[in-house]
Amino acid sequence: MTRLNGKVALVTGGSRGIGAAIARKLAEDGADIAITYTSAAAKAGETVKAIEKFGRRAIAIRADNLDAAAVEAAVSEAHAKLGRLDILVNSAGVFSVDQIETATLDEFDRVMSIHVRASFVASKAAAALMGAGGRIVSIGSNLGERVPFPGLSIYATSKAALVGLTKALARDLGPKEITVNIVQPGSTDTDMNPANGDHADAQRALMAIPRFGQARDIAGIVAYLAGDEGRFITGSAFTIDGGTNI
């Protein structure tokens, strides 16, 4: 594939799971890749090696999404070391489950910082470096639109906020021909939510296609939005969840 030849992408949280699958797919399609990671240095190194097998340049940058300055610096480093920045994928994330009676403000602030504040910071920094044709894609969740289980008040709030951020950024950046979209996975087989986990059967029971998705399913729609085919798509949410939310 050559749809992204000559492009440079930064994928936050690209060391494993959905983020790593996105980084590999964008590289397969021709882009040079920067990824960020927080603590999984070995996994980040594996992703870099996988990207390089496609003949693409790759770098891993340690940047905790809780540290706004580190996120902003990662955007600058990706641009400086790879020579340009065309695509930003806000993929770094955490999962949080707690009943409202016991949920803490500290946890609320932590999850909102990782999912929403860091995406705002990275998008602002990246947009300043992108030219016409730039792409920003955030990874949300189908739980930002529908919450079938208790205990998700913090997590669902953060993912719903990403939808609002996406639509607002699309308005702000449209005149620059920079598109902004959000991809909302459902149950996807990753370390964070394995298909053989304790709660997997309950999730499958909600799905029209009763199986977990694969990280490559999410990566495919991100690559489409990042390519020329996505040039007139902005401010949109794409839910990839096997029919959970229908």
Catalytic residues: 155
Q: Is 13 left (phi over 0), alpha (psi -120 to 50) or beta?
A: left
Per-residue DSSP letter, 117: I
Specify whether the CB–CB gap between 162 and 119 falls below 8 A. yes
Residue identified by tokens 């806000």 is 90
| Residue 210 buriedness (CB in 10 A; 0-12 / 13-18 / 19+) | middle
- What CA–CA distance (Å, rounded) separates 214 from 231? 26
Three-class SS of residue 238? strand
Q: Integer distance in angstroms from the first to the last C-alpha of the chain?
A: 33
Q: Token pair 């070391």 is at which residue?
A: 81
Number of Cβ atoms within 10 Å of the Cβ of 188: 23
Using alpha carbons, select from 117, 82, 113, 110 the residue that is nearest to residue 96: 110
187: DSSP letter? S
